[in-house]
């Protein structure tokens, strides 16, 4: 039976996301044949597993794309959602799931595996209701669906963990809504992956709903206190007030933490309900708990902290693109692009070897900053967050190395050739599309660094915006270029 399992083809949707990226890795560790379905193949090229999988590019709303992706597949992991993509995400998610199920049935898929959310409270949020309806749509055909419902997922880089970490670190005294006392049953990302990878070895398809949770039930307030203890912080003073609605809570979280308001809102709304696994939906008879046991909340937090401190975060919540405007939902050029591209061009020739300059370029942003004019970058990030953008607080996955698809403050890595080229795409709120590019070239024994800020304006308003901010460019971009070379020279001479 093991050899039969090894011949199976597994499809992972959402492979560029937080859970999907990690699931691909563990399936490959188990010697599985894996195909990934992604919108942009370039976005996953930086993953260590990229060369070990089949890549199918397309969108989940296109039936023909799905048919190609599902051809010959035994088990399909459905890890897609539309949060942050549309205000009517319920209908979008339902349509995506329905199309996926229909195409899976036509392709002869034997098993669909869906990761949803625990929803056993009548006071369910829009987010949890949409997750439930997605499961219903996926199960609307003859293809068996195993729906795994999880609560708060604790892991390095998860949105829930980042929200918990930054709230606790930054607020020794906090006023909170009543929902912080609601019961929840967190689960470590390690254990979520354990269940997902174990499904791949089931002998027969399964059609059922299973709740998965860690071994402890506690309140969100207790989780914050546990985090503060493990982080060496003083016990947090938590004052509960009745006036903080989910909207106000998510606005506050969006201001204090790197998690944007639009993503914080469904997380907060989910906490209004008690998120506790239903023992009647136990998975234990199907997949026993891991031999070493499920991680406790303390163990899960400690493991996530260790991974973060060691800079070994393989995927983050921000790996999924954050749409900033209707015309910025995709990184490909818009229909109106090409008519006008505005540019700020800088160039420096130096005797510093290219590899030292590249180290500085690749380390840009996050805690390292943007090589000068820090207050202007901070101001731009603050303005972006005030109008609903991501701001600068996303930081970086790794402090020194980048890969295509990484989020970098309010940029995303769109192109990267080591020691030669870095292209960043802006995910801030803008009346157009913007890029920041760095090129390195060796000419006659010298290194030529070129730095280009490019902007494709959306109509007259976009052009006006460019000329209004141009005075700030005279402070930001020349300083950045000079300081990159200055830092590289210092690094070179110190070695």
Query: How many residues does this entry show for the chain?
Result: 495
Q: How many of the other CB atoms lie within 10 Å of CB of 187?
A: 27
Same domain, 105 and 167: yes
What's the pLDDT at 12? 96
CA–CA gap between residue 256 and residue 304 (Å, rounded): 20
What's the pLDDT at 330? 39
C-beta separation of 394 from 258 below 8 A: yes
What's the pLDDT at 387? 79
Domain that holds residue 401: 326-493
As given in the structure block, the two tokens for residue 106 are 């036509």
Cα 330-10-68 angle, rounded to 5 deg: 55
Same domain, 423 and 445: yes
403 Cβ neighbours under 8 A, 6+ residues apart:
45, 46, 47, 413, 416
Same domain, 332 and 424: yes
As given in the structure block, the two tokens for residue 251 are 């606005």
CA–CA gap between residue 262 and residue 384 (Å, rounded): 13
State the first-to-last Cα distance of the chain, in angstroms, to the nearest integer: 56
The whole model's pTM is what? 0.75
What's the pLDDT at 266? 67
Find residue 238's DSSP bridge partners: 174
Same domain, 315 and 461: no
CATH number of the domain encompassing residue 367: 3.30.530.20
Same domain, 242 and 364: no
What's the pLDDT at 324? 45
Domain boundary among 293, 319, 345: 319
Q: In the chain, what's the furthest Cα-to-Cα distance?
A: 73
Same domain, 313 and 369: no
- pLDDT tens-digit series, residues 148-202: 999 889 998 888 888 888 788 777 887 777 777 888 899 999 999 999 999 999 9
> Which stretches in the chain have pLDDT values below 70?
1-6, 82-89, 120-125, 242-247, 249-250, 252, 254-255, 260, 262-263, 265-266, 269-271, 317-339
Same domain, 334 and 424: yes
CA dihedral 393→398→402→407, nearest 10 degrees, is -30
Q: Considering its fold, how many domains does the chain have in total? A: 2
CA–CA gap between residue 455 and residue 370 (Å, rounded): 19
What's the pLDDT at 338? 44
CA dihedral 373→377→383→387, nearest 10 degrees, is 160
DSSP letter at 320? S
What's the pLDDT at 331? 41
- pLDDT tens-digit series, residues 24-53: 999 999 999 999 999 888 888 878 898 999
What's the pLDDT at 325? 43
Same domain, 451 and 427: yes
Same domain, 370 and 467: yes
Same domain, 290 and 336: no
Domain boundary among 319, 338, 365: 319
CATH number of the domain encompassing residue 288: 3.40.50.720
What's the pLDDT at 420? 94
Burial class of residue 217, CB neighbours in 10 A (0-12, 13-18, 19+) = middle
What's the pLDDT at 475? 87
Same domain, 108 and 216: yes
Q: How many of the other CB atoms lie within 10 Å of CB of 54?
A: 13
CA–CA gap between residue 224 and residue 184 (Å, rounded): 13
Domain boundary among 296, 319, 342: 319
What's the pLDDT at 396? 86
Which of 146, 39, 145, 129 lies closest to 93, judged by CA?
Answer: 129
CA–CA gap between residue 5 and residue 217 (Å, rounded): 35
Same domain, 96 and 172: yes
What's the pLDDT at 336? 41
């Amino acid at each position: 039976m093991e050899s039969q399992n090894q011949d199976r083809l597994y499809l992972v949707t959402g492979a560029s996301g937080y859970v999907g990226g990690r699931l691909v890795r563990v399936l490959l560790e188990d010697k599985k044949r894996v195909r990934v379905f992604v919108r942009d193949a370039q976005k996953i090229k930086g993953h260590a597993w990229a060369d070990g999988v089949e890549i199918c590019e397309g969108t989940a709303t296109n039936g023909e794309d799905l048919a190609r992706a599902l051809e010959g597949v035994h088990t399909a992991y459905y890890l897609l959602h539309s949060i942050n993509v549309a205000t009517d995400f319920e209908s979008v998610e339902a349509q995506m799931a329905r199309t996926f199920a229909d195409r899976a049935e036509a392709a002869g898929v034997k098993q669909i595996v869906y990761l949803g959310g625990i929803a056993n409270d009548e006071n369910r949020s829009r987010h949890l209701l949409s997750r439930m309806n997605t499961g219903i749509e996926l199960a609307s055909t003859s293809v068996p669906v195993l729906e795994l419902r999880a609560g708060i997922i604790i892991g390095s880089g998860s949105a829930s963990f980042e929200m918990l970490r930054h709230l606790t670190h930054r607020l020794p005294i906090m006023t909170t809504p009543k929902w912080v006392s609601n019961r929840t049953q967190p689960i470590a990302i390690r254990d979520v992956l354990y269940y997902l990878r174990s499904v791949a070895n089931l002998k027969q398809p399964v059609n059922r709903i299973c709740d998965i949770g860690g071994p402890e039930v506690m309140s969100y307030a207790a989780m914050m206190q546990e985090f503060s203890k493990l982080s060496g912080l003083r016990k947090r003073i938590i004052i509960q007030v009745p006036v903080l609605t989910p909207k106000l809570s998510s606005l506050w979280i969006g201001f204090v933490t790197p998690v944007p308001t639009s993503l914080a809102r469904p997380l907060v709304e989910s906490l209004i309900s008690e998120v506790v696994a239903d023992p009647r939906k136990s998975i234990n008879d199907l997949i026993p708990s891991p031999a070493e046991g499920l991680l406790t909340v303390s163990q899960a937090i400690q493991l996530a902290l260790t991974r973060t401190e060691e800079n070994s975060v393989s995927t983050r919540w921000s790996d999924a693109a954050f749409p900033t405007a209707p015309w910025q939902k995709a990184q490909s050029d818009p229909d109106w692009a090409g008519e006008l591209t505005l540019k700020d061009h800088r160039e420096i020739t130096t005797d510093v070897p290219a590899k030292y300059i590249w180290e500085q370029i690749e380390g840009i942003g996050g805690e390292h900053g943007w090589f000068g004019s820090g207050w202007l970058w901070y101001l731009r990030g603050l303005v972006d967050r005030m109008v609903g953008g991501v701001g600068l607080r996303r930081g970086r996955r790794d402090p020194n190395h980048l890969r295509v698809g990484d989020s970098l403050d309010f940029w995303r890595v769109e192109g990267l050739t080591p020691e030669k080229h870095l292209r960043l795409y802006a995910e801030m709120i803008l009346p157009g599309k913007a890029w920041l590019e760095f090129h390195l070239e060796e000419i006659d024994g010298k290194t030529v660094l070129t730095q280009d800020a490019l902007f494709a304006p959306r109509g007259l308003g976009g052009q006006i915006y460019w000329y209004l901010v141009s005075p700030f460019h005279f402070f930001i971009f020349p300083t950045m270029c000079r300081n990159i070379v200055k830092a590289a020279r210092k690094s070179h001479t110190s070695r």
